[in-house]
């Protein structure tokens, strides 16, 4: 399968200068939100005046060519030139409100993955119905890999806290608690969005600079129908990419702190990046690292089942990733091999169980496969770190190498309690599988 062609954002020059209407009516007061956009030359720019409506926003673009347009999830007394959190010299901004936003992505962009994202969005929508302090606002198709669910916060007490810093910290704390409940229930959302009061989110009504599809508000009744049934009704640029039926592939795989492109022999196929379960620098300890069995269900069902075992065996903080179809689980602990063999037998993790017995460790794939078409397919997406509440009950030391691996793969794990075991550098290889 060939890689999906990207949309050429240069054709957006002058696009927003036309009679273009961006609906901002879903915001209580657009003038209290910060608007930012990425320009054609890849620099960021913010609106220097308050935005009241579509007309004033388009005027703010002026001579720049926005490829991607965003708006703050929070509203501020003064949203212009909003200081960063680490800016200690500027006056602390006054937070007036903060939308609760859940970002659900299943990359790469294709019909099959959008259907998975739609199902996840509806599952979360149904789960949130019991949370009376939050009122559903709308759901938006992001223009690429998923959906954004927006909620209004009906509990207003925290927004009355006099001290601006304490107020914002209280809001972030409550958002974090909600986010922990959401992920503990098995919902796969971007954990960087919901609790961040300084976060920006793609603005509905604007074009996605990599696909040409418009970020669009979708009726909640429509969301209960299969994505394929209504995908053709979504607005897009006339030069927008055609959405594939099945997952396309990505050339980049994040194996280090920074992304880097891996170039391999084009004559060799079925290559993948693998890591050893062995805790480097120890004699007989391994981490529990494996792809959850297909019989456990889709990623959400698999995580719900895994959570029960995290509690039963006191695993503590456990990291999860998905390739859109299966779920990768890592318990970054230095577990004695004999104990892990017994645990994997009870969990019916047959492949890991067998390889620990026969080879004393297991090589586990942590990437897509490098195909004969010179591309990585099914790039892994971080889900979350769950089970942290059981850290104090876990008696095994942390595995330094697997903590480092988790960090490189986008999920940092705090280990303020417990000992550290082994060396820091994980054992990684590029292997060819039949």
Which pairing describes strands 146-153 and 100-105: parallel, antiparallel, or unpaired? antiparallel
Are 284 and 336 contacting, i.e. CB atoms less than 8 angstroms apart? yes
Which pairing describes strands 420-421 and 146-153: parallel, antiparallel, or unpaired? unpaired
Structure tokens at 391: 């850290």
pLDDT tens-digit series, residues 337-379:
999 999 999 998 988 999 998 888 999 988 765 444 334 345 6
3-class secondary structure for 120-182?
Answer: HHHHHHHHHCCCCCEEEEEEEECCCCEEEEEEEECCCHHHHCCCHHHHHHHHHHHHHHHHHHH
Structure tokens at 299: 């990623």
Please tell me the predicted confidence (pLDDT) of residue 190.
86
Angstrom CA distances, 391 to 24, 48, 333, 337, stand at: 45, 47, 11, 20
**Torsion angles phi and psi, residue 412, rounded to 5:** -80, 135
Give the distance from CA 299 to its chain's centroid: 14
CA distance 148 to 114: 12
Please tell me the predicted confidence (pLDDT) of residue 369.
54
Please tell me the predicted confidence (pLDDT) of residue 147.
97
CATH placement of domain 9-233: 3.90.920.10
End-to-end alpha-carbon separation of the chain, Å? 18
Question: Domains of the chain: which residue ranges?
Answer: 9-233, 250-432
Determine if the pTM surpasses 0.85.
Answer: no
Q: Which H helix or E strand runs over 434?
A: none
Q: For the CA atoms of the chain, what is the radius of gyration? A: 23
**What DSSP letter does each residue of 220-280 carry, written as one string?**
HHHHTS-HHHHGGGS-B-TTPPPPPSS--EESEE--SSS-EE----TT--SEEEEEESB-T
Residues 170-204: b if buried by 16+ CB within 10 A, e if exposed = bbbebbeebbbebbbebbbbbbebbbbbbbbbbbb
pLDDT tens-digit series, residues 120-134:
999 999 999 999 999
- DSSP conformation class of 91: P
CA distance 149 to 367: 29
| Residue whose pair of structure tokens reads 């509990």 in the numeric block | 155
Across the chain, what does the average pLDDT equal?
Answer: 87
| Residue 321 pLDDT exceeds 60 | yes
Averaged pLDDT for residues 198-212: 95
pLDDT tens-digit series, residues 99-120:
999 999 988 889 999 999 999 9
Structure tokens at 41: 């030359």
Averaged pLDDT for residues 59-75: 93
């Amino acid at each position: 399968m060939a890689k999906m062609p990207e949309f050429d954002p240069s054709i957006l020059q002058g696009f927003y200068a036309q009679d273009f209407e961006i609906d901002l009516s879903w915001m209580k007061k657009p003038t209290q939100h910060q608007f930012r956009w990425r320009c054609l030359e890849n620099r960021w720019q913010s609106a220097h005046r308050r935005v009241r409506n579509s007309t004033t926003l388009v005027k703010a673009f002026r001579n720049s060519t926005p490829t991607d347009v965003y708006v703050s999830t929070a509203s501020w007394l003064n949203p212009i030139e909003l200081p960063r959190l680490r800016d200690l010299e500027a006056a602390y901004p006054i937070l007036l409100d903060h939308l609760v936003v859940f970002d659900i992505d299943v990359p790469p962009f294709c019909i099959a993955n959008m259907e998975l994202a739609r199902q996840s969005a509806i599952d979360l929508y149904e789960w949130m119905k019991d949370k009376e302090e939050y009122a559903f606002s709308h759901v938006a198709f992001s223009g690429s890999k998923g959906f954004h669910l927006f909620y209004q916060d009906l509990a207003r007490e925290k927004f009355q806290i006099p001290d601006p810093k304490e107020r914002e910290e209280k809001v972030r704390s409550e958002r974090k608690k909600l986010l922990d409940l959401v992920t503990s229930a098995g919902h796969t959302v971007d954990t960087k969005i919901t609790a961040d009061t300084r976060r920006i989110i793609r603005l509905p009504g604007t074009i996605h600079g990599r696909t040409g599809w418009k970020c669009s508000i979708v009726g909640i009744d429509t969301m209960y129908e299969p994505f394929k049934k209504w995908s053709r009704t979504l607005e897009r640029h006339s030069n927008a990419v055609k959405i594939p039926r099945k997952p396309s592939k990505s050339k980049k795989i994040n194996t280090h702190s920074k992304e880097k492109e891996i170039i391999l022999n084009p004559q060799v196929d079925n290559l993948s990046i693998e890591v050893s379960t062995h805790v480097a620098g120890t004699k007989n300890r391994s981490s529990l690292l494996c792809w959850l069995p297909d019989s456990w269900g889709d990623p959400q069902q698999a995580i719900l089942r895994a959570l029960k075992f995290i509690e039963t065996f006191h695993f503590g903080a456990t990291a999860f990733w998905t390739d859109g179809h299966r779920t990768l689980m890592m318990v970054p602990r230095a577990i004695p091999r004999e104990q892990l063999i017994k645990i994997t037998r009870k969990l019916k993790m047959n492949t890991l169980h067998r390889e620990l017995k026969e080879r004393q460790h297991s090589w586990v794939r942590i990437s897509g496969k490098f195909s004969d078409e010179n591309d990585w397919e099914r790039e892994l997406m971080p889900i979350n770190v769950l089970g942290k509440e059981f850290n104090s009950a876990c008696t095994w030391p942390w595995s330094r190498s697997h903590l480092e691996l988790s960090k490189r793969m986008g999920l940092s794990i705090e280990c303020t309690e417990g000992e550290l075991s082994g060396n820091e550098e994980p054992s990684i290889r590029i292997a060819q599988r039949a």
